[in-house]
Amino acid sequence: MTTYSAVRTTGIYCRPGCGAKPLAENVRTFGLAAAAEAAGYRACLRCRPYRVAGAVGDEAPELVCRAVRLIIGGVLDEANEAAVGARLGVSARHLRRLFNDHLGVTPDQFARSRRAHFARRLLDDSDLSIADVAFASGFGSLRQFNRAMKEVFRAAPSEMRDRRRRGDRLTADGGLVLRMPFTAPYDWDAVLVLLGERAVPGVESVVDGNYRRTITLDGAPGLLEIGPGGADHLLLRAHLPYWEGVIHVVERAARLVGVDADQTLAVARLRADATLGQLVTARPGVRVPGSWGPFETAVQHVVDHDTLARLVEEHGPRVDGLGYGLVRTFPSAGALTAEPGVVGALARAVESGAVVLDGGEGLDDLVGSLTAVPGVGTAAAHHIALRLGARDASPLDGASENWRPWRALATVHLVLDALSAAGR
Protein backbone atom coordinates (compact mmCIF):
# COMPACT_ATOMS: atom_id res chain seq x y z
CA MET A 1 0.00 0.00 0.00
CA THR A 2 1.27 3.50 -0.83
CA THR A 3 1.87 5.53 2.33
CA TYR A 4 1.93 9.32 2.07
CA SER A 5 4.01 11.38 4.48
CA ALA A 6 2.67 14.75 5.61
CA VAL A 7 4.84 17.34 7.35
CA ARG A 8 3.11 19.39 10.06
CA THR A 9 5.52 22.30 9.84
CA THR A 10 5.15 22.85 6.07
CA GLY A 11 1.60 21.64 5.45
CA ILE A 12 2.84 19.49 2.53
CA TYR A 13 2.39 15.76 1.89
CA CYS A 14 4.71 13.59 -0.23
CA ARG A 15 4.72 10.17 -1.82
CA PRO A 16 7.38 7.53 -0.94
CA GLY A 17 10.81 8.27 -2.35
CA CYS A 18 10.55 12.06 -2.24
CA GLY A 19 13.86 13.77 -1.57
CA ALA A 20 12.46 15.88 1.27
CA LYS A 21 13.98 14.98 4.68
CA PRO A 22 11.72 16.31 7.45
CA LEU A 23 12.24 15.54 11.13
CA ALA A 24 10.43 12.30 12.07
CA GLU A 25 8.52 13.98 14.90
CA ASN A 26 6.92 16.37 12.41
CA VAL A 27 5.61 13.64 10.07
CA ARG A 28 2.11 12.13 9.87
CA THR A 29 1.31 9.23 7.55
CA PHE A 30 -1.81 8.64 5.47
CA GLY A 31 -2.92 5.70 3.37
CA LEU A 32 -4.59 7.90 0.75
CA ALA A 33 -3.70 11.25 -0.74
CA ALA A 34 -7.35 12.22 -0.25
CA ALA A 35 -6.98 11.67 3.50
CA ALA A 36 -3.95 13.95 3.65
CA GLU A 37 -5.89 16.61 1.74
CA ALA A 38 -8.89 16.24 4.04
CA ALA A 39 -6.53 16.89 6.96
CA GLY A 40 -5.43 20.18 5.35
CA TYR A 41 -2.19 19.19 3.59
CA ARG A 42 -1.32 20.09 -0.02
CA ALA A 43 0.59 18.02 -2.58
CA CYS A 44 4.37 18.36 -2.85
CA LEU A 45 5.47 20.13 -6.05
CA ARG A 46 8.62 18.02 -6.24
CA CYS A 47 7.30 14.43 -6.06
CA ARG A 48 3.74 15.17 -7.30
CA PRO A 49 1.74 12.52 -5.39
CA TYR A 50 -1.18 12.81 -7.78
CA ARG A 51 0.87 10.94 -10.40
CA VAL A 52 1.01 7.64 -8.46
CA ALA A 53 -1.70 4.98 -8.37
CA GLY A 54 -3.03 5.72 -4.89
CA ALA A 55 -5.14 2.54 -4.75
CA VAL A 56 -7.32 1.72 -1.75
CA GLY A 57 -5.50 -0.86 0.37
CA ASP A 58 -6.78 -4.43 0.26
CA GLU A 59 -7.19 -4.49 4.04
CA ALA A 60 -10.29 -2.30 3.76
CA PRO A 61 -13.61 -4.05 4.53
CA GLU A 62 -15.58 -5.45 1.62
CA LEU A 63 -18.39 -2.93 2.14
CA VAL A 64 -15.94 -0.05 1.79
CA CYS A 65 -14.45 -1.61 -1.35
CA ARG A 66 -17.93 -1.96 -2.85
CA ALA A 67 -18.66 1.69 -2.05
CA VAL A 68 -15.37 2.72 -3.64
CA ARG A 69 -16.26 0.81 -6.81
CA LEU A 70 -19.60 2.64 -6.99
CA ILE A 71 -17.93 6.02 -6.46
CA ILE A 72 -15.29 5.32 -9.09
CA GLY A 73 -18.14 4.34 -11.39
CA GLY A 74 -19.54 7.85 -11.00
CA VAL A 75 -22.46 7.34 -8.60
CA LEU A 76 -21.61 10.58 -6.75
CA ASP A 77 -21.62 12.62 -9.95
CA GLU A 78 -25.39 12.96 -9.77
CA ALA A 79 -26.25 11.65 -6.28
CA ASN A 80 -25.17 12.09 -2.66
CA GLU A 81 -23.72 9.94 0.10
CA ALA A 82 -27.20 8.89 1.21
CA ALA A 83 -27.81 7.36 -2.24
CA VAL A 84 -24.56 5.38 -2.02
CA GLY A 85 -25.49 4.17 1.46
CA ALA A 86 -28.96 3.17 0.30
CA ARG A 87 -27.45 1.19 -2.56
CA LEU A 88 -25.35 -0.71 -0.02
CA GLY A 89 -28.06 -1.07 2.62
CA VAL A 90 -26.52 1.28 5.20
CA SER A 91 -27.15 4.85 6.31
CA ALA A 92 -25.07 7.75 5.03
CA ARG A 93 -23.84 8.32 8.58
CA HIS A 94 -22.63 4.72 8.91
CA LEU A 95 -20.98 4.89 5.48
CA ARG A 96 -19.11 8.08 6.44
CA ARG A 97 -18.01 6.43 9.68
CA LEU A 98 -16.64 3.41 7.81
CA PHE A 99 -14.79 5.63 5.33
CA ASN A 100 -13.32 7.78 8.10
CA ASP A 101 -12.24 4.74 10.13
CA HIS A 102 -10.63 2.85 7.24
CA LEU A 103 -9.67 5.50 4.68
CA GLY A 104 -9.45 8.69 6.73
CA VAL A 105 -11.79 10.55 4.39
CA THR A 106 -15.52 10.84 3.64
CA PRO A 107 -17.03 9.44 0.43
CA ASP A 108 -17.51 12.98 -0.93
CA GLN A 109 -13.90 13.91 -0.14
CA PHE A 110 -12.68 10.70 -1.77
CA ALA A 111 -14.63 11.45 -4.96
CA ARG A 112 -13.49 15.08 -5.07
CA SER A 113 -9.84 14.11 -4.63
CA ARG A 114 -10.02 11.55 -7.47
CA ARG A 115 -11.56 14.13 -9.82
CA ALA A 116 -8.97 16.76 -8.88
CA HIS A 117 -6.02 14.37 -9.26
CA PHE A 118 -7.28 13.18 -12.64
CA ALA A 119 -7.72 16.79 -13.77
CA ARG A 120 -4.16 17.60 -12.68
CA ARG A 121 -2.88 14.70 -14.79
CA LEU A 122 -4.83 15.99 -17.79
CA LEU A 123 -3.38 19.47 -17.26
CA ASP A 124 0.12 17.96 -17.29
CA ASP A 125 -0.22 15.25 -19.94
CA SER A 126 -2.61 16.67 -22.51
CA ASP A 127 -3.34 19.82 -24.47
CA LEU A 128 -7.05 19.77 -23.71
CA SER A 129 -8.44 23.20 -22.90
CA ILE A 130 -9.08 23.96 -19.24
CA ALA A 131 -12.83 23.82 -19.86
CA ASP A 132 -12.48 20.39 -21.49
CA VAL A 133 -10.32 19.21 -18.58
CA ALA A 134 -13.03 20.27 -16.12
CA PHE A 135 -15.81 18.31 -17.79
CA ALA A 136 -13.56 15.38 -18.70
CA SER A 137 -12.75 15.04 -15.00
CA GLY A 138 -16.37 14.80 -13.94
CA PHE A 139 -16.91 18.32 -12.61
CA GLY A 140 -20.35 19.83 -13.17
CA SER A 141 -19.15 23.38 -13.85
CA LEU A 142 -16.04 25.48 -14.26
CA ARG A 143 -16.77 27.22 -10.97
CA GLN A 144 -16.89 23.89 -9.14
CA PHE A 145 -13.71 22.78 -10.92
CA ASN A 146 -11.75 25.93 -10.06
CA ARG A 147 -12.86 25.81 -6.44
CA ALA A 148 -11.90 22.16 -6.00
CA MET A 149 -8.49 22.60 -7.64
CA LYS A 150 -7.67 25.57 -5.44
CA GLU A 151 -8.74 23.64 -2.34
CA VAL A 152 -6.68 20.57 -3.22
CA PHE A 153 -3.63 22.11 -4.92
CA ARG A 154 -3.71 25.73 -3.68
CA ALA A 155 -3.49 27.00 -7.26
CA ALA A 156 -5.76 27.78 -10.19
CA PRO A 157 -5.85 25.34 -13.14
CA SER A 158 -4.21 27.92 -15.43
CA GLU A 159 -1.26 28.21 -13.02
CA MET A 160 -0.85 24.42 -12.97
CA ARG A 161 -0.88 24.22 -16.76
CA ASP A 162 1.80 26.93 -16.91
CA ARG A 163 3.96 25.01 -14.41
CA ARG A 164 3.94 21.63 -16.14
CA ARG A 165 7.33 20.15 -16.88
CA ARG A 166 8.93 19.71 -20.27
CA GLY A 167 8.56 15.91 -20.26
CA ASP A 168 4.98 15.80 -19.00
CA ARG A 169 3.08 16.39 -22.24
CA LEU A 170 2.35 13.16 -24.12
CA THR A 171 2.24 13.70 -27.87
CA ALA A 172 -0.04 11.47 -29.91
CA ASP A 173 -0.98 10.84 -33.50
CA GLY A 174 -4.68 10.98 -32.85
CA GLY A 175 -6.50 10.27 -29.61
CA LEU A 176 -5.84 11.30 -26.04
CA VAL A 177 -2.85 9.63 -24.40
CA LEU A 178 -2.64 9.29 -20.62
CA ARG A 179 -0.43 7.53 -18.14
CA MET A 180 -2.15 4.81 -16.08
CA PRO A 181 -0.07 4.62 -12.88
CA PHE A 182 0.25 1.39 -10.92
CA THR A 183 1.90 0.25 -7.72
CA ALA A 184 4.78 -2.11 -8.58
CA PRO A 185 5.12 -5.00 -9.03
CA TYR A 186 2.64 -5.26 -11.89
CA ASP A 187 2.65 -8.13 -14.40
CA TRP A 188 1.32 -6.75 -17.69
CA ASP A 189 2.17 -9.95 -19.57
CA ALA A 190 -0.02 -11.99 -17.21
CA VAL A 191 -2.94 -9.58 -17.57
CA LEU A 192 -2.64 -9.79 -21.37
CA VAL A 193 -2.77 -13.60 -21.23
CA LEU A 194 -5.92 -13.49 -19.10
CA LEU A 195 -7.64 -10.88 -21.28
CA GLY A 196 -6.64 -12.65 -24.47
CA GLU A 197 -7.95 -16.00 -23.27
CA ARG A 198 -11.55 -14.75 -23.30
CA ALA A 199 -11.29 -11.89 -25.81
CA VAL A 200 -14.61 -11.14 -27.50
CA PRO A 201 -14.25 -11.65 -31.28
CA GLY A 202 -14.52 -8.38 -33.17
CA VAL A 203 -14.62 -6.36 -29.93
CA GLU A 204 -11.30 -7.09 -28.19
CA SER A 205 -7.78 -7.68 -29.53
CA VAL A 206 -4.46 -8.64 -27.95
CA VAL A 207 -1.65 -8.08 -30.47
CA ASP A 208 2.07 -7.36 -30.01
CA GLY A 209 1.87 -6.67 -26.29
CA ASN A 210 -1.08 -4.29 -26.55
CA TYR A 211 -4.74 -4.62 -25.63
CA ARG A 212 -7.36 -2.89 -27.76
CA ARG A 213 -11.13 -2.81 -27.62
CA THR A 214 -14.15 -1.01 -28.96
CA ILE A 215 -16.44 0.82 -26.54
CA THR A 216 -19.72 2.71 -26.70
CA LEU A 217 -20.40 6.03 -24.97
CA ASP A 218 -24.04 7.15 -25.13
CA GLY A 219 -24.48 5.22 -28.36
CA ALA A 220 -21.33 6.55 -30.07
CA PRO A 221 -18.36 4.20 -30.71
CA GLY A 222 -14.83 4.66 -29.43
CA LEU A 223 -11.54 2.77 -29.24
CA LEU A 224 -9.18 2.14 -26.32
CA GLU A 225 -5.57 1.02 -26.66
CA ILE A 226 -3.53 0.01 -23.59
CA GLY A 227 0.13 -0.94 -23.64
CA PRO A 228 3.43 -0.73 -21.74
CA GLY A 229 4.56 2.71 -20.67
CA GLY A 230 7.24 2.70 -17.98
CA ALA A 231 8.33 1.21 -14.69
CA ASP A 232 5.32 2.65 -12.87
CA HIS A 233 2.67 3.13 -15.53
CA LEU A 234 0.89 1.83 -18.60
CA LEU A 235 -0.12 4.08 -21.49
CA LEU A 236 -3.75 4.49 -22.50
CA ARG A 237 -4.64 5.95 -25.89
CA ALA A 238 -8.35 6.80 -26.07
CA HIS A 239 -10.20 7.63 -29.28
CA LEU A 240 -13.53 8.98 -28.04
CA PRO A 241 -16.54 10.78 -29.52
CA TYR A 242 -16.29 13.49 -26.82
CA TRP A 243 -14.22 14.30 -23.72
CA GLU A 244 -16.96 14.89 -21.14
CA GLY A 245 -16.67 12.37 -18.29
CA VAL A 246 -13.49 10.79 -19.65
CA ILE A 247 -12.41 10.22 -16.03
CA HIS A 248 -14.88 7.34 -15.90
CA VAL A 249 -13.52 5.89 -19.14
CA VAL A 250 -9.99 5.93 -17.71
CA GLU A 251 -11.05 4.48 -14.36
CA ARG A 252 -13.02 1.69 -16.03
CA ALA A 253 -9.95 0.95 -18.16
CA ALA A 254 -7.78 0.93 -15.02
CA ARG A 255 -10.16 -1.52 -13.37
CA LEU A 256 -10.16 -3.70 -16.51
CA VAL A 257 -6.38 -4.20 -16.39
CA GLY A 258 -6.09 -4.25 -12.60
CA VAL A 259 -3.92 -1.18 -12.08
CA ASP A 260 -6.44 0.23 -9.58
CA ALA A 261 -5.74 -2.55 -7.04
CA ASP A 262 -3.30 -2.72 -4.15
CA GLN A 263 -2.77 -6.41 -3.39
CA THR A 264 0.07 -6.14 -0.88
CA LEU A 265 -1.78 -7.94 1.91
CA ALA A 266 -3.23 -10.58 -0.42
CA VAL A 267 0.19 -11.41 -1.89
CA ALA A 268 1.76 -11.67 1.56
CA ARG A 269 -0.98 -14.04 2.73
CA LEU A 270 -1.00 -16.27 -0.36
CA ARG A 271 2.80 -16.54 -0.45
CA ALA A 272 2.58 -18.48 2.81
CA ASP A 273 0.16 -21.05 1.33
CA ALA A 274 1.60 -24.49 0.59
CA THR A 275 -0.26 -24.77 -2.73
CA LEU A 276 0.13 -21.23 -4.02
CA GLY A 277 3.36 -20.03 -2.42
CA GLN A 278 5.67 -20.83 -5.32
CA LEU A 279 3.28 -19.40 -7.93
CA VAL A 280 2.79 -16.12 -6.06
CA THR A 281 6.49 -15.76 -5.30
CA ALA A 282 7.35 -16.32 -8.96
CA ARG A 283 4.80 -13.75 -10.21
CA PRO A 284 4.00 -11.28 -7.41
CA GLY A 285 2.71 -8.70 -9.91
CA VAL A 286 -0.25 -10.76 -11.13
CA ARG A 287 -3.54 -8.85 -10.87
CA VAL A 288 -7.15 -9.93 -11.15
CA PRO A 289 -8.49 -8.58 -14.47
CA GLY A 290 -11.65 -6.52 -14.20
CA SER A 291 -14.45 -5.74 -16.61
CA TRP A 292 -15.16 -2.99 -19.11
CA GLY A 293 -18.82 -3.88 -19.62
CA PRO A 294 -20.42 -5.94 -16.82
CA PHE A 295 -23.12 -7.38 -19.09
CA GLU A 296 -20.50 -8.24 -21.71
CA THR A 297 -18.47 -10.02 -19.03
CA ALA A 298 -21.51 -11.96 -17.86
CA VAL A 299 -22.25 -13.18 -21.39
CA GLN A 300 -18.59 -14.13 -21.90
CA HIS A 301 -18.84 -16.61 -19.06
CA VAL A 302 -22.11 -18.31 -19.93
CA VAL A 303 -21.57 -19.12 -23.65
CA ASP A 304 -18.81 -20.67 -25.74
CA HIS A 305 -16.53 -18.78 -28.11
CA ASP A 306 -18.52 -19.58 -31.24
CA THR A 307 -21.80 -18.41 -29.70
CA LEU A 308 -20.11 -15.25 -28.48
CA ALA A 309 -18.84 -14.53 -31.99
CA ARG A 310 -22.33 -15.08 -33.45
CA LEU A 311 -23.97 -12.75 -30.93
CA VAL A 312 -21.50 -9.97 -31.76
CA GLU A 313 -21.84 -10.53 -35.50
CA GLU A 314 -25.65 -10.53 -35.45
CA HIS A 315 -26.36 -7.88 -32.82
CA GLY A 316 -23.25 -5.74 -32.29
CA PRO A 317 -23.29 -2.31 -34.00
CA ARG A 318 -20.67 -2.21 -36.75
CA VAL A 319 -17.62 0.08 -36.56
CA ASP A 320 -15.38 0.47 -39.61
CA GLY A 321 -11.74 1.40 -40.12
CA LEU A 322 -10.22 0.41 -36.77
CA GLY A 323 -7.99 -2.49 -37.76
CA TYR A 324 -6.76 -5.32 -35.51
CA GLY A 325 -9.94 -7.27 -36.25
CA LEU A 326 -12.06 -4.75 -34.34
CA VAL A 327 -15.28 -4.37 -36.30
CA ARG A 328 -18.15 -4.16 -33.79
CA THR A 329 -19.13 -2.94 -30.34
CA PHE A 330 -20.70 -5.39 -27.91
CA PRO A 331 -24.51 -5.52 -28.04
CA SER A 332 -26.50 -4.14 -25.12
CA ALA A 333 -28.69 -6.27 -22.88
CA GLY A 334 -31.72 -4.74 -24.57
CA ALA A 335 -30.56 -6.03 -27.95
CA LEU A 336 -30.34 -9.62 -26.68
CA THR A 337 -33.58 -10.06 -24.73
CA ALA A 338 -35.15 -12.07 -27.56
CA GLU A 339 -32.25 -14.54 -27.73
CA PRO A 340 -33.15 -18.10 -26.74
CA GLY A 341 -31.67 -19.85 -23.73
CA VAL A 342 -29.34 -18.45 -21.12
CA VAL A 343 -28.34 -15.32 -23.08
CA GLY A 344 -31.91 -14.07 -23.42
CA ALA A 345 -32.73 -14.99 -19.83
CA LEU A 346 -29.68 -13.12 -18.56
CA ALA A 347 -30.42 -10.09 -20.74
CA ARG A 348 -34.01 -9.94 -19.49
CA ALA A 349 -32.86 -10.27 -15.87
CA VAL A 350 -30.42 -7.36 -16.32
CA GLU A 351 -33.03 -5.23 -18.09
CA SER A 352 -35.63 -5.86 -15.36
CA GLY A 353 -33.19 -5.19 -12.52
CA ALA A 354 -33.36 -8.75 -11.18
CA VAL A 355 -29.59 -8.94 -11.74
CA VAL A 356 -27.52 -5.84 -10.91
CA LEU A 357 -23.96 -5.78 -12.24
CA ASP A 358 -22.66 -2.35 -11.17
CA GLY A 359 -20.20 -3.65 -8.57
CA GLY A 360 -22.22 -2.62 -5.53
CA GLU A 361 -23.55 -6.09 -4.74
CA GLY A 362 -21.92 -8.37 -2.17
CA LEU A 363 -20.58 -11.73 -3.39
CA ASP A 364 -23.41 -13.87 -2.00
CA ASP A 365 -26.14 -11.55 -3.31
CA LEU A 366 -24.55 -11.32 -6.76
CA VAL A 367 -24.00 -15.07 -7.08
CA GLY A 368 -27.52 -15.71 -5.80
CA SER A 369 -29.13 -13.39 -8.34
CA LEU A 370 -27.04 -14.82 -11.20
CA THR A 371 -27.73 -18.47 -10.38
CA ALA A 372 -31.45 -17.65 -10.26
CA VAL A 373 -31.19 -17.10 -14.04
CA PRO A 374 -31.90 -20.38 -15.85
CA GLY A 375 -28.67 -21.75 -17.29
CA VAL A 376 -26.22 -19.80 -15.12
CA GLY A 377 -24.31 -22.20 -12.88
CA THR A 378 -22.45 -21.45 -9.67
CA ALA A 379 -19.01 -21.62 -11.32
CA ALA A 380 -20.06 -19.18 -14.05
CA ALA A 381 -21.57 -16.85 -11.44
CA HIS A 382 -18.28 -16.84 -9.51
CA HIS A 383 -16.33 -16.18 -12.72
CA ILE A 384 -18.53 -13.15 -13.37
CA ALA A 385 -18.27 -11.95 -9.76
CA LEU A 386 -14.47 -12.30 -9.89
CA ARG A 387 -14.28 -10.04 -12.94
CA LEU A 388 -16.66 -7.53 -11.32
CA GLY A 389 -14.34 -7.08 -8.34
CA ALA A 390 -15.48 -9.61 -5.72
CA ARG A 391 -12.15 -10.44 -4.14
CA ASP A 392 -13.34 -13.73 -2.56
CA ALA A 393 -15.03 -15.14 -5.68
CA SER A 394 -13.71 -18.50 -6.87
CA PRO A 395 -15.21 -20.79 -9.51
CA LEU A 396 -12.84 -23.63 -8.58
CA ASP A 397 -14.23 -26.76 -6.96
CA GLY A 398 -12.74 -27.23 -3.52
CA ALA A 399 -11.12 -23.79 -3.41
CA SER A 400 -9.18 -23.65 -0.16
CA GLU A 401 -10.74 -21.88 2.80
CA ASN A 402 -7.19 -20.81 3.63
CA TRP A 403 -7.27 -18.48 0.61
CA ARG A 404 -10.14 -16.38 2.00
CA PRO A 405 -10.78 -13.52 1.44
CA TRP A 406 -8.36 -13.50 -1.53
CA ARG A 407 -9.72 -16.44 -3.51
CA ALA A 408 -10.07 -14.36 -6.68
CA LEU A 409 -6.33 -13.69 -6.81
CA ALA A 410 -5.61 -17.33 -5.90
CA THR A 411 -7.84 -18.45 -8.77
CA VAL A 412 -6.05 -16.20 -11.26
CA HIS A 413 -2.69 -17.66 -10.27
CA LEU A 414 -3.97 -21.20 -10.76
CA VAL A 415 -5.55 -20.32 -14.12
CA LEU A 416 -2.28 -18.77 -15.33
CA ASP A 417 -0.38 -21.86 -14.20
CA ALA A 418 -2.78 -24.12 -16.10
CA LEU A 419 -2.51 -21.99 -19.26
CA SER A 420 1.28 -22.04 -19.01
CA ALA A 421 1.28 -25.82 -18.65
CA ALA A 422 -0.91 -26.04 -21.76
CA GLY A 423 1.52 -23.85 -23.69
CA ARG A 424 -0.87 -20.89 -23.99
User: Can you give the residue ranges of every domain in the chain?
Assistant: 1-125+127-169, 176-421
Question: What is residue 24's predicted lDDT score, i.e. its pLDDT?
Answer: 85
Confidence of residue 173 (pLDDT cuts 50, 70, 90): low
Phi, psi dihedrals of residue 276, rounded to the nearest 5° = -100, -15
Range with lowest mean pLDDT among 72-76, 277-281, 371-375: 72-76
Query: Among the CATH numbers 3.10.520.10, 3.30.70.270, 3.40.50.300, 1.10.10.60, which is that of 1-125+127-169?
Result: 1.10.10.60
- Asked whether residue 127 carries a pLDDT value surpassing 80, the answer given is yes
Q: Are strands 4-7 and 12-14 parallel, antiparallel or unpaired?
A: antiparallel
How far apart, in whole angstroms, are the C-alpha atoms of residue 143 and residue 243? Answer: 18
DSSP 5-21: EEETTTTEEE-TT-S--
How far apart, in whole angstroms, are the C-alpha atoms of residue 224 and residue 215? Answer: 7
- Find the distance separating the first CA and the last CA of the chain, reported in whole Å: 32
Q: Where are the alpha helices (DSSP H) in 103-154?
A: 107-125, 130-136, 142-153
Q: Are 375 and 312 in contact (CB under 8 A)?
A: no
- Asked whether residue 174 carries a pLDDT value surpassing 80, the answer given is no
- Asked whether residue 294 carries a pLDDT value surpassing 90, the answer given is yes
| Average pLDDT over the chain, rounded to an integer | 91
How far apart, in whole angstroms, are the C-alpha atoms of residue 42 and residue 120? Answer: 13
How far apart, in whole angstroms, are the C-alpha atoms of residue 385 and residue 364? Answer: 9
Q: Where are the beta strands (DSSP E) in 8-76?
A: 12-14, 27-30, 42-43
Question: What is residue 1's predicted lDDT score, i.e. its pLDDT?
Answer: 58
Confidence of residue 186 (pLDDT cuts 50, 70, 90): very high
Of residues 399 and 162, more confidently modeled: 162
Question: What is residue 264's predicted lDDT score, i.e. its pLDDT?
Answer: 87
| Residue 386 three-state SS | helix
Percentages of the chain per state (helix, strand, coil), in multiples of 5: 45, 10, 40
Average pLDDT over residues 220-239: 93
Question: What is residue 172's predicted lDDT score, i.e. its pLDDT?
Answer: 57
Average pLDDT over residues 68-73: 88
The Cα diameter of the chain in Å comes to 68
Q: Are 82 and 92 in contact (CB under 8 A)?
A: yes
Contacts 24+ apart (CB under 8 A), 367-375: 367/393, 370/298, 373/342, 373/345, 373/346, 373/349, 374/342, 374/345, 375/302, 375/341, 375/342, 375/345, 375/346
Question: What is residue 171's predicted lDDT score, i.e. its pLDDT?
Answer: 60
Of residues 157 and 198, more confidently modeled: 157
Confidence of residue 55 (pLDDT cuts 50, 70, 90): confident
Average pLDDT over residues 251-256: 94
- Asked whether residue 3 carries a pLDDT value surpassing 90, the answer given is no
Query: Among the CATH numbers 3.30.1490.20, 3.30.310.20, 3.40.50.300, 3.40.50.620, which is that of 176-421?
Result: 3.30.310.20
- Asked whether residue 192 carries a pLDDT value surpassing 90, the answer given is yes
Confidence of residue 409 (pLDDT cuts 50, 70, 90): very high
- Asked whether residue 417 carries a pLDDT value surpassing 80, the answer given is yes
Q: What is the pLDDT of residues 353-379, one digit of tens each?
A: 999 998 888 899 999 999 999 999 999
How far apart, in whole angstroms, are the C-alpha atoms of residue 135 and residue 363? Answer: 34
Phi, psi dihedrals of residue 231, rounded to the nearest 5° = -65, -20
In 3D space, the residue among 138, 113, 106 whose CA is nearest the CA of residue 49 turns out to be 113
Q: How far is CA 417 from CA 190, 209, 286, in A?
A: 10, 20, 12
